[in-house]
Amino acid sequence: MHIDPLERTWVVVVGLLTAMMLGVIFYTAWSGDIHPPSNVEVIDSTRLHLTEEFAEDNLGARTQPDGSVRVAMVATRYGFYPQHIEVPVDTPITFRFATPDSLHGLHIPGTNVDTMVIPGFVSEVNTVLQNTGTFPMYCNEYCGLGHHDMWSRVTITPKQG
């Protein structure tokens, strides 16, 4: 088999380039615990209202004893409930979402809060928000003809005390 020396050099360069990029990804995943949101946790979508976590009265942001914040939200055609939440800046936050109907996605632009919400599963995003202000949280996966109307507001407040 004939391989030109120049081509051989290029293959080595390409190999090193790819190894470098993969190296960065694997290293940050391992050392900084940087992963996309994954949460293999099943839930019965038809009975969300009967669960404790996603019952209407229990939705929204709650501060935990360790100072972190836990947010439970329901994504449903066409809105995220509660429609407006307030969370503190620079604080570990765990967002948890479930849907009783169709497939949804959500994104808060400018942040890494981005996950799909799939019937039958609980989505979870762990993050620390870094900028104060009011941001949209919109649905970013087509869920029906009112898809574009599906959004709510997230206000990130300055840290108290």
Contacts to another protein by CB under 8 A? 1-4, 6-7, 10-11, 14-15, 17-18, 21-22, 25-26, 28-29, 34-46, 77, 101-103, 105, 107, 109-110, 112, 114-124, 134-136, 138-149, 151, 153
- How many other CB atoms are there within 10 angstroms of residue 98's CB atom? 24
In the chain, helix, strand, coil percent, each to 5?
25, 35, 40
* CB of residue 65 to another protein, shortest distance in Å: 26
Of 49 and 63, nearer to another protein (C-beta) is 49
In the complex, the smallest distance separating the C-beta of residue 159 from another protein, rounded to whole angstroms, is 23
Min dist. Cβ of residue 97 to another protein (A): 9
Q: Minimum CB separation from another protein for residue 62, in Å?
A: 21
Rank residues 52 and 66 by Cβ distance to another protein and give the closer one. 52
- Six token digits for residue 85: 């939440």
DSSP notation for 49-101: GGSSTTSGGG-EEEE-TTS-EEEEEEEETTEEESSEEEEETTSEEEEEEE-SS
Beta strand 84-88 pairing with 151-157 = parallel
Query: In this complex, which beta carbon is closest to another protein, that of residue 67 or of residue 149?
Result: 149
Q: CA-to-CA distance for 69 and 94, rounded, in angstroms?
A: 6
Provide the 3-class DSSP secondary structure of residue 141: coil
Residue whose CB is less far from another protein, 43 or 85: 43
Q: Which is nearer to another protein, 44 or 90 (CB)?
A: 44
